[in-house]
Amino acid sequence: MTTVAQNPPVALAPVAAANAVDLIDELWSSERTGSAVLDDGVPDTERIIAAAGAVESLEWELDRARSGLASVIERAVSNGCAIEKVAESAEMTREDIATLLWAARAEKIAGVPRL
């Protein structure tokens, strides 16, 4: 059995959005998988909790980015910008723009606060 202990054990703390991707990369790097056994004293359940926290953080960040994009697109369309130009600028299809605007409108109607 091979033991990989490149980094000393560290306490797991809540993952900040800025380093969530780094955490996932560290947890799943190719040099730490395969036949090598990770033996740094951190229980697997703590790794799972940290990875799940990183995913949740990234999902929250993605939701905020989508909300911001929807706001900017709504403003551009309200100001008369052509849907084709909006879609081209956002690198999206017209259908994607319509779906995004529909979802944002549905959230407004339902009273869901913007992030």
**Who wins on pLDDT, 89 or 34?**
89
Phi, psi of 40 (to 5 degrees): -120, 10
Q: Is residue 28 part of a domain?
A: yes
> Mean pLDDT over all residues of the chain?
76
CA–CA separation, 111 and 88 (whole Å) = 30
**Pair of tokens at residue 83:** 């849907």
Residue 45: CB atoms within 10 Å: 8
* Domain region containing 83: 13-110
Q: Is residue 2 part of a domain?
A: no
Answer whether 100's CB lies under 8 Å from 71's CB. no
Number of domains the chain is built from: 1
Q: Is residue 1 part of a domain?
A: no
Q: Model confidence over 50-78: pLDDT tens digits?
A: 999 999 999 999 999 988 999 999 999 99
Q: Is residue 115 part of a domain?
A: no
Q: Is residue 55 part of a domain?
A: yes
Residue holding tokens 């606060």? 113
Q: 3: which strand partners?
A: 37
Q: Is residue 7 part of a domain?
A: no
Q: Is residue 64 part of a domain?
A: yes
Q: Is residue 8 part of a domain?
A: no
89 pLDDT band (50/70/90 cuts)?
Answer: very high
The pTM score is: 0.55
Distance of CA 2 to the CA centre of its chain: 33
